[in-house]
Structure 1
Amino acid sequence: MELREYMRILLQSWWLVVTMTLAGVLAAGAFSMLVTPRYEATSQLYVSVRHDEADTASDLVQGATFAQQSVNSYIDLATSAIVLDNVIDELDLDTTSTSLRDSLSVASPENTVLISITASDENPGEASALANTTGEVFSRVVENEIEVADANGVSPIQVRMIQPAPVPEAPVSPNIPINIAVGLLLGLAVGVGIALLRSVLDTRIRSIRDIEQLTDAPILGRIPVDPEVATRPLIVHSDAMSPRAESFRSLRTNLQFIGAAGSQRVVVVTSAMPSEGKTNTVTNLAIALADNGASVVLVDADLRNPTVADVMGIEGGVGLTDVLIGRADLSEVLQHWGRRKLEILPSGAIPPNPSELLGSAAMEALLGRLGSRVDYVLIDSPPLLPVTDAAVMSKFATGTVLVVTPESTKRPQFSAALDTLHTIDSRLLGVVATKMPAKGADRALYPHYRYERARTGASPDHLDRDTAESAVDFGPTVHATEIETPASTMGAQDSRWRIGS
């Protein structure tokens, strides 16, 4: 993945990263508050070889070398039982030499004759007493027991305490600032790791880039999400000046260029799975094409869950199925919609054998007949993966438009839909991404056109016919015209609009 992909993942999961970071800080703070403080005290000893006035310079050098070599052995001696048993007796400690050894550490700087004895304890005074007593006992053991005295009762090795251990004022642990910093870093790392892991395990299509990685087909449109789509599905008609309506006009323009080579333009609009917005896409696309002056027939071929009639506000009891079984003629069931050159062929009664009807010779002949008389035939079909209806119809069409919803459609589903179209040798005209966010890298909004009503605050009923017909057209193909809709969609009123700057 590229850097921007990582950034996108982190931005999408920022709440998780922040939550885990705060959790790490809080855990570190709680740990620091609950841990019993420990104090450390250090005493320092100096090891040397005794000498007298008669010793030469060479003798002094040899003595210093011997002392330096002996220090390495004395480090282990300081925490041996022979020393610690005496320390326990002197301090009257209720412990063993093995347990006491864990509270002591002995070290010597390299190439020196210094020995540092560090004691740790929950009580600062006891830590100081333990370091000093261990140093004193160690000195006596070295001089009296390890390095045997000569005939005069004097040991050749002398161990002196040059720095007694003071009583520590502050604990060495817990170190709250360091603990919090470690907790912050660990929480941040865990949050980032979980965010990346979720992204790897999540098979949903997240962005336009994910679509482009799965197919070479062009992205025909990016339709922004609309929370009010249930109450105003025909946005191109009900709010023609909105950015979402503009996205459908952009889809219309792209489709016109893609399909320019064919004499007939019969397009199946489908999706991999249900509820991806294909019906909303095909109905608004049909209106956008008709607004541009094209003659369009919208066919509801979803014989399992037909919704075009309800969305368009027409009667759907008689339609496609009646034509296919010969019970009605095409001219009897086609319904004109508004003042556009838009006709709708509803589904009719739901049959028991949708796939057989849609894949029949009658369906092929019907699509050929429709394609020869209008500019565009748009077919709303069932999703590709649950049933075969869309696949069998694609054989009779100029091409297929595949609708996908980022954050909902999964990569395996999208890939399976592409494989299905490839298997039947159907031409994929392009992909339409629906329910796109209004912000972010994949936002679906276009440049900030300013749209206004002909009269601010006025309802469409207050606009006269001359005003509506003289409206200025700022779009490349949108014509200002009087618009009528069925009463079930917009009521009994006429709606006359114009585009203003």
Structure 2
Amino acid sequence: MNANYPVISLKDYVKAIFRHKAVVVITFIVIITGTIIGLELKTPVYHARVTMLISAEKQIDSPYYTSLSGAQIQQLTPSGIVNSNPVIKRAVNVLKLHERPADYEKQFCSPLKARLIDLRLKRSKSNDNPSFDEPSYRFRMAVEGLKENIGVEPIRDTNLFAITVSDFSPEAAAEIANVVSRSYIIFDLEQQLAELRLQYGEMHPNVVQLKDNISAMIQNLHGKILPAIEAIGPATVKIIEQAEVPLAPTGTNKRTALLLAVFMALFAGIMLAFALEYIDHTIKSPQDIVTNLNLPHLGSIPRNGYRKNGCMNGVKRGTVSAQFYQKLSDNLCLLIRDKNIKSLLIAAATPRERSARVSANLGNLLSTKTGQKVIIIDANVNAPALNRVFDISEGPGLADVLERKVPFEKATQEIRPNLTVLPAGDTQLEPALLLESTRMGEVIKIAKEKYGLVLIDYSNVVNLRDTCILSSYLDGVILVVSEGQTKHHVLKELIESLNDKKVNLLGAVLDNRTFPIPKVIYKRI
């Protein structure tokens, strides 16, 4: 299989989730919080339904109705008539909906929604609307509100249609639906009455009969369930099924909605974690070093592998940090013996990354394991680091030796037997000029003669000229790559340039390594 397309295992997916666990948790909290607030702001609404029939037949014949055909009956679906002012105003008057308090919803909503209703009413009154409390205004608002809560839907391939009424109270929803449907029947009878009055006069028996029918329907203009024969009525529009009190509000109940939100929040969080992992092109694992950079992985240093100051002698034996350093130093010991290496450049892959602590701890361990004298030279003249790591004085150093201000021996500081440090020193000259001078080669030659192993720390390997000059005096280069900071393409370009300059790259150390998967889970996948 192509090395650029490694096999993705279950651990890689789990690692991506745990690496971005903060994003998953935040996404989960935001979605669940938003869902809970949304549910709190949503007052349960009940729907009551009345089924009606357009028959185009009436008790009193009229040329208008007898001339209707089946196709014309279908066109009489009364969505507009049900919501007309004569029908709605009669229902509002009968039910006294205009006398409902402005904060009627507060009886059924959550405390949070109740506060918002209070704020909305307070704001409306603060606008100094003089008509806000007038009866005519309240009546008009009740009519418009009822129209918004009524739905009329034809039932396909039949002469039936349904009137649906919404309300916060299930009893009120059923009552309003029944009153509206009966008000519509009364309106239909009144249209017949008006036609017959024009045709036959006020005293005609048919007119008198229609008046009696209208009076009887007005007596039944309430929300209670009527006997079927009384509910059907004599009009061309007949009630087939009266509205009953709904048992449950419409929509998904809160428990189900919250459960769905939990699954959606987890799914969204995990998908977002995968998306962030996909667009993150930084080095994140030893496998990335081998696969993407085509370099040997020499070892890793965990994120908590450093103390604020000090090197390996500040890390307790047996700790996780010490174990990683031990493994890294063991690998380097084998490399040093197999390839007869006497000098190494330990360099950070980008200027932001520091290699000083890695150099310090490796020098400390290698001086013990190899039994040779080890010197660590700080080549970071523009940004000294080893003096802080070892907590030593900022005396003369490499820069002073390169400027011939002090001899080599006077600038070195012995940390302990077999371990010596040459600090960076201080200079007023351009650091690049010092490192590129022939004197730098002489200093490295002196160090090789006096010590068994020479380690040079340099944290600006992107400066190819300096890196190539330094590496020409040494046996090999080790890159220090920080997890989650160094991008693949930056490193690839850097490595290609170093290879073109014939730099001997021995491998890479993954610094700042994290282990996002908990140990308990890691062992089981």
Specify the TM-score bucket, using the shorter chain as the normaliser.
0.5 to 0.7
- Choose which of 351, 361, 366 in structure 2 pairs with 1:284: 361
Map 1:428-443 onto structure 2 (within 5 A): 428-437=505-514, 440=517
* CA separation of 1:180 and 1:332: change in aligned 2, threshold 3 A: closer
- Choose which of 201, 205, 219 in structure 1 pairs with 2:297: 219
Provide the residue aligned with 1:90 in structure 2: 90
- Choose which of 420, 433, 439 in structure 2 pairs with 1:356: 433
Provide the residue aligned with 1:118 in structure 2: 164
* CA separation of 1:238 and 1:28: change in aligned 2, threshold 3 A: closer
TM-score under structure 1 length normalisation: 0.67
Unaligned segments of structure 2, at least 5 residues:
59-68, 94-138, 197-204, 211-232, 521-525
1:30 aligns with 2:37: yes
1:305 aligns with 2:390: no
Cα deviation 1:322-359 (Å, max 9, x = unaligned): 5444555556655655344x444444443523222222
**CA displacement at 1:271 relative to structure 2:** 0.7
* CA separation of 1:106 and 1:312: change in aligned 2, threshold 3 A: closer
* CA separation of 1:297 and 1:123: change in aligned 2, threshold 3 A: closer
Map 1:191-340 onto structure 2 (within 5 A): 191-192=269-270, 194-196=272-274, 198-199=276-277, 205-212=283-290, 214-226=292-304, 229-231=307-309, 233-236=310-313, 239-258=316-335, 262-273=339-350, 276-295=353-372, 296-309=374-387, 311-312=389-390, 317-326=395-404, 330=408, 338-340=416-418
Moved more, 182-191 or 373-382: 182-191
Q: Is the 8 A contact 1:224 1:434 kept in 2?
A: yes
Q: Is the 8 A contact 1:32 1:174 kept in 2?
A: no
**CA displacement at 1:310 relative to structure 2:** 5.5
1:166 aligns with 2:244: yes
Q: For the residues of structure 2 that align with 1:221 and 1:437, how far apart are their CA atoms?
A: 13
Identity of aligned residues (%): 23
Q: Is the 8 A contact 2:17 2:24 kept in 1?
A: yes
* CA separation of 1:219 and 1:50: change in aligned 2, threshold 3 A: same
Q: For the residues of structure 2 that align with 1:125 and 1:332, how far apart are their CA atoms?
A: 98
CA RMSD in angstroms comes to: 4.6
* CA separation of 1:327 and 1:47: change in aligned 2, threshold 3 A: closer
Q: For the residues of structure 2 that align with 1:315 and 1:31, how far apart are their CA atoms?
A: 63
**CA displacement at 1:438 relative to structure 2:** 6.0
**CA displacement at 1:166 relative to structure 2:** 2.1
* Matched length: 425
Q: Is the 8 A contact 1:38 1:171 kept in 2?
A: yes
**CA displacement at 1:379 relative to structure 2:** 0.6
**CA displacement at 1:11 relative to structure 2:** 1.8
Provide the residue aligned with 1:381 in structure 2: 458
1:131 aligns with 2:177: yes
**CA displacement at 1:225 relative to structure 2:** 3.4
**CA displacement at 1:222 relative to structure 2:** 0.8
TM-score under structure 2 length normalisation: 0.65
Provide the residue aligned with 2:100 in structure 1: none
Helix, strand or coil: the match of 1:41?
A: strand
**CA displacement at 1:279 relative to structure 2:** 1.3
- Choose which of 10, 14, 19 in structure 1 pairs with 2:21: 14
Give the letter aligned to residue 176 of structure 1.
Answer: K
Q: For the residues of structure 2 that align with 1:91 and 1:141, how far apart are their CA atoms?
A: 11
**CA displacement at 1:318 relative to structure 2:** 4.3
* CA separation of 1:269 and 1:172: change in aligned 2, threshold 3 A: same
**CA displacement at 1:269 relative to structure 2:** 0.8
Unaligned segments of structure 1, at least 5 residues:
52-65, 444-501
Q: For the residues of structure 1 that align with 2:506 and 2:518, how far apart are their CA atoms?
A: 24
Q: Is the 8 A contact 1:370 1:377 kept in 2?
A: yes
Higher relative contact order (CA 8 A, sep 6+): 2
**CA displacement at 1:12 relative to structure 2:** 2.9
Give the letter aligned to residue 43 of structure 1.
Answer: V
**CA displacement at 1:284 relative to structure 2:** 1.7
* CA separation of 1:47 and 1:316: change in aligned 2, threshold 3 A: closer
**CA displacement at 1:138 relative to structure 2:** 5.0
Helix, strand or coil: the match of 1:80?
A: helix
**CA displacement at 1:220 relative to structure 2:** 0.9
Q: Is the 8 A contact 2:412 2:422 kept in 1?
A: yes
Q: Is the 8 A contact 2:293 2:491 kept in 1?
A: no
Q: For the residues of structure 1 that align with 2:407 and 2:19, how far apart are their CA atoms?
A: 54
* CA separation of 1:126 and 1:324: change in aligned 2, threshold 3 A: closer
* CA separation of 1:442 and 1:216: change in aligned 2, threshold 3 A: farther
Q: Is the 8 A contact 1:25 1:180 kept in 2?
A: yes
* CA separation of 1:42 and 1:406: change in aligned 2, threshold 3 A: same
Q: Is the 8 A contact 2:19 2:516 kept in 1?
A: no
Provide the residue aligned with 1:55 in structure 2: none
Q: Is the 8 A contact 2:343 2:453 kept in 1?
A: yes
Q: For the residues of structure 2 that align with 1:83 and 1:262, how far apart are their CA atoms?
A: 93
Q: Is the 8 A contact 2:315 2:321 kept in 1?
A: no
Q: Is the 8 A contact 1:302 1:347 kept in 2?
A: yes
* CA separation of 1:419 and 1:442: change in aligned 2, threshold 3 A: farther
Q: For the residues of structure 2 that align with 1:24 and 1:195, how far apart are their CA atoms?
A: 15
Q: For the residues of structure 2 that align with 1:382 and 1:83, how far apart are their CA atoms?
A: 79
Q: Is the 8 A contact 2:349 2:460 kept in 1?
A: yes
Q: Is the 8 A contact 1:83 1:134 kept in 2?
A: no
Cα deviation 1:58-103 (Å, max 9, x = unaligned): xxxxxxxx97x777544xx221237734412432454599875543
Q: Is the 8 A contact 1:354 1:389 kept in 2?
A: no
Q: For the residues of structure 1 that align with 2:92 and 2:44, how far apart are their CA atoms?
A: 23
Provide the residue aligned with 2:480 in structure 1: 403
* CA separation of 1:78 and 1:122: change in aligned 2, threshold 3 A: farther
Moved more, 217-226 or 347-356: 347-356
Q: For the residues of structure 2 that align with 1:440 and 1:398, how far apart are their CA atoms?
A: 38
